[in-house]
Amino acid sequence: MARIPAAERRAELVAAAVRMIAAHGVDGATTRRIAQEANAPLATLHYCFATKEVLFAAVFEHVAEQYREVLTRNDVHGDVETSARALLHGVMEWYMANPDFGAAIIELISWAQRQEGKQAEMVYNEAFATMRTILESAATAAGQAVDPDTVDELTYTVSALSDGFALNYLVFTDRTAAERQIETTLGVLNAWMAANLGDAAKPAAKPAKVSPEEALRSLVSWVSVD
């Protein structure tokens, strides 16, 4: 049997941990269950991750990376409104396609809040930073003047709406209803943007071109005296 590279084995164990956390919660995701799910000897798990805490830290990093990839993948390089809608839509679709991740994230966030570290904050801060960069770049590319505080509020709104959608989907697991709710949630975002972006969502007007002759006449008129 070919030897599996250590990096690949670590990735398999982290993915197995996500599935076990989703199925059994943090406390129920024992190292033995995780090793069995990854089809790996328990000794291999302990070799790759010295403690369960180290393994869970890797799980948090994996979750943050996955979320970052989803956001980057849904960067449509449009204006602020188009980009925000694409980000929210992409995250909601991802939650529907990956229910294990959604369940594991909720379990991990709840568990992390009872610990001394700031792993849950790390996941959110990285997601916020990625979203903020995408929205700021969209504003710059589209020539839109959007206040940084408004960008932060929009980032939070997209996150809050996607979190609410994910929790609702995990409870009801009704894909047909969820597809309708995606449109409802996007409508809420549209309403927020209409109320809070206003003229800022419109590209800044470009200054009118003035011919050299017109500029000269204007200057002469300004300096002329009776």
Question: Quick one: average pLDDT of 11-30?
Answer: 95
Give the type of residue at 51. T
CA distance 216 to 104: 69
- Note whether 85 and 25 are within 8 A (CB): no
Over residues 181-198, the pLDDT tens digits come to: 999 999 999 999 999 997
pLDDT computed for residue 162 by the predictor: 97
Fold (CATH) for 1-50? Arc Repressor Mutant, subunit A (1.10.10)
For the chain, domain boundaries: 1-50, 57-199
pLDDT-based confidence at 1, cuts 50/70/90?
Answer: very low
Q: What whole-number percentage of the chain has pLDDT above 90?
A: 75
Fold (CATH) for 57-199? Tetracycline Repressor; domain 2 (1.10.357)
3-class SS string, the chain: CCCCCHHHHHHHHHHHHHHHHHHHHHHHCCHHHHHHHCCCCHHHHHHHCCCHHHHHHHHHHHHHHHHHHHHHHCCCCCCHHHHHHHHHHHHHHHHHHCHHHHHHHHHHHHHHCCCCCCHHHHHHHHHHHHHHHHHHHHHHHHCECCCHHHHHHHHHHHHHHHHHHHHHHHHHCCHHHHHHHHHHHHHHHHHHHHHHCHHHHCECCCCCCCCHHHHHHHHHHHHCCC
- Note whether 81 and 142 are within 8 A (CB): no
- Note whether 104 and 18 are within 8 A (CB): yes
Question: Quick one: average pLDDT of 15-42?
Answer: 96
pLDDT computed for residue 219 by the predictor: 41
Over residues 82-122, the pLDDT tens digits come to: 999 999 999 999 999 999 889 999 999 988 888 877 888 98
Q: What whole-number percentage of the chain has pLDDT above 70?
A: 86
pLDDT computed for residue 149 by the predictor: 97
